[in-house]
Amino acid sequence: MPVFFVFRGGANPLDNSAVHPERYPLVSKIAADRKCRVEELIGLENLRKEIVAEKYLNEEVGLPTLNDILAELAKPGLDPRSGIKVFEFSDGVYSIKDLQVGMVLPGIVTNITRFGVFVDVGAKQDGLVHISELANRYVSDPAEIVKLHQHVRVKVLEVDNVRKRIAFSMKQAE
């Protein structure tokens, strides 16, 4: 799959859009047919509304591509990716020795097994949420409740410093 970059403040107004550079001449032709500049085509909805996409169909460019280009001209530079959730571990939790029974902490699911899920809370040792502690109902498969890398809240049930084991509960953290 080809990759190209969006350049904010680039020389061409289309550089700040998802229009592929090989389609710049097509957009320029559309603007010329509308008797305007590309910048005006991007900025003025009334100019875009009157474009008949079928007029620009050819062997290389189909209707889906043209519709994508026209949609991009309406919202250039819009990032289609959803917002990224920022995750932070609790301050003061850097090792298993920092954990106390009863603490409620944010964590990230690192592994899913038949018997439960492992969660990283920043203590350099993942802890186990046993399948019985995932929810206030019967759970036959932990994957029904969580996904890998999901952000969760857990309550510390037990800390075994000698064996380096941590027991968590998700249902008690709610």
Whether 13-74 and 96-173 share one fold: the answer is no
What is the pTM assigned to this prediction?
0.55
pLDDT on residue 113? 96
CATH number for the domain whose boundaries are 96-173: 2.40.50.140
Closest to 53 measured CA to CA, from 44, 41, 61: 61
Identify any residues that bridge with 167 across adjacent strands, giving them in sequence order: 128, 158
pLDDT on residue 92? 93
Instruction: Give, for all 174 residues of the chain, the pLDDT tens digit.
Output: 444 555 566 678 888 788 888 999 999 999 999 999 998 888 788 888 888 889 999 888 899 989 888 888 887 766 656 666 778 999 999 999 999 999 999 999 999 999 999 999 999 999 999 999 999 999 999 999 999 999 999 999 999 999 999 999 999 998
From the options 3.90.180.10, 2.60.120.10, 1.10.3720.10, 1.10.150.310, give the CATH code of 13-74: 1.10.150.310
DSSP 38-52: HHHHHH-HHHHHT--
In Å, the largest CA–CA distance within the chain is 77
Alpha-carbon dihedral sign for residues 55, 60, 64, 70: negative
Residue boundaries of the structural domains of the chain:
13-74, 96-173
